[in-house]
Amino acid sequence: MHSTQNFPQEALPALLDQYRLFVQNELFPIDLKVVQGPFRSFLPLLFKLRSKAKELGLFAPHLSREDGGVGLNLVQFAQVSEILGQSPIGHYVFNCAAPDIGNMELLHLFGTDDQKSTWLNPLQQGEIRSCFAMTEPALAGSNPVHLATTAIREGDEYVINGHKWFTTAADGAKFTIVMAVTNPEAESPYQRASMLLVPLDNPGYQLIRNIPIMGEAGEDYLSHGEVKFENCRVPISNLIGKEGQGFALAQERLGPGRIHHCMRWIGICERVFDLMCRRTISRHLDPGKPLAEKQTIQNWIAESRAEIKASRLMVMDTAQKMQNLGAKAVKEDISTIKFFVADVLMKVIDRAIQVHGALGITDDTLLSFWYRHERGARIYDGPDEVHKSALARSILKNYL
């Protein structure tokens, strides 16, 4: 996890330049083809790029050096995350993509020695992938304490039954961490669920399908699975933390995760902004009259730059506070950056599509891919409306 011993701050600018060059030279030329798929046909190439990242000392920037990473703290990694976010395969190549990075954090903090040696270590080395099963199709994902999936203790085993979806990257993963109700009679709804590690070769587990996202089902890392657990038995040693800690562990996972997401979104904004600006210069409505001369286009460029910069400053401020004070101290900030940056992301992508005209809605650029897949930014990790409501309630407490 994020190192408590900071990577030397004076060496950070040079390191960031290394990441920029790698992303621009190695990922930009291929990323559109990779997302067009089939993804698995590119795995040999992506594994070569992972090996190159390891050779350059850039692999797993979020991990400590003892764990084979670069040793960046949260604030430093946030800056790297923006750079990697400029390519849809950036975080994957450097082994810090969701949901793997969140599962690494969970197992690092709360996993047993056996869980770490069997699952965490190969996950950190990029030898396997994982997924996280919490959201359920029959219940609102915005209410994480309302779950139908159960894990009933029978002797030395838990028997899991339930139906999940949007289990991101389930296709090809080796294990999942599943949220299930173990203590239905607990007085507090926040102490009813637990987290359990489930190997995906378990006969009680089934990947039903990869859910089409605006017509695109995807595969492997670029997928969202619908899965079922039917009398799925795992030993009690697969419990992560303690019984009833599921909600608390989820919050531990989601706090830094929202920093990661927001900085990745800002990276997307920067790549999209660059595409938009290049298009305004190269595209002419009339001979000698580029789009860049149109006032509406100029407004979009100016507004996008201001909003991206504001987003970055806001997220970096939150990351610094979280690093210094802990996740509980920045609840308001986390809600603020989540809905603010998600909204900026969609605005910038939409403007870039409009500037590109008909080209913008084709798959000849990354714009349509991001428009499809990042529309969910306003939904996952808590819908924007939930975060706005939570922020408003927190603010108004000071007036009572």
Choosing among 3.40.50.1820, 3.30.360.10, 1.10.540.10, 3.40.50.11540, the CATH entry for 9-97 is 1.10.540.10
Superfamily of the domain at 130-244 = Butyryl-CoA Dehydrogenase, subunit A, domain 2 (2.40.110.10)
Alpha-carbon gap, residue 166 to 144, rounded angstroms: 14
- Is 190 in contact with 247 (CB distance < 8 Å)? yes
The superfamily in CATH containing domain 248-399 is Butyryl-CoA Dehydrogenase, subunit A, domain 3 (1.20.140.10)
* Among 170, 171, 175, CA closest to 107: 175
Round to whole Å and give the CA distance between 3 and 61. Answer: 10
Cα–Cα distance measured from residue 109 to residue 238, given in angstroms and rounded to the nearest whole number: 15
pLDDT in single tens digits along all 400 residues of the chain: 555 556 899 999 999 999 999 999 999 999 999 999 999 999 999 999 999 999 999 999 999 999 999 999 999 999 999 999 999 999 999 999 999 999 999 999 999 999 999 999 999 999 999 999 999 999 887 787 899 999 999 999 999 999 999 999 999 999 999 999 999 999 999 999 999 999 999 999 999 999 999 999 999 999 999 999 999 999 999 999 999 999 999 887 777 888 999 999 999 999 999 999 999 999 998 888 999 999 999 999 999 999 999 999 999 999 999 999 988 889 999 999 999 999 999 999 999 999 999 999 999 999 999 999 999 999 998 899 999 999 999 999 999 9
Nearest to 38 by CA among 264, 200, 216: 216
Query: Which pTM value belongs to this model?
Result: 0.95
The total number of residues shown for the chain amounts to 400
Chain centroid, CA 121 distance in Å: 20
- Are both 9-97 and 248-399 of the same fold? no
How far, in Å, CA of 7 to CA of 304, rounded?
32
Separation CA 89–CA 111 (nearest Å): 28
- Distance between CA 318 and CA 391 in Å, rounded? 15
3 state DSSP class of 150: strand
Which residues are bridge partners to 162 per DSSP? 229
Gap between the Cα atoms of 139 and 137, Å rounded: 6
Within 13 Å and on the Cβ side, how many CA atoms surround 248? Answer: 11
Q: Which helix (H) or strand (E) holds 298?
A: helix 295-325
Domain residue limits, the chain = 9-97, 130-244, 248-399
Q: Is 190 helix (H, G, I), strand (E, B) or coil?
A: helix
User: 102 is written with which tokens?
Assistant: 């969140």
CA atoms within 13 A on the CB side of 138: 8
83, 265 contact by CB (below 8 A): no
- What whole-number distance in Å separates Cα of residue 149 and Cα of residue 164? 8
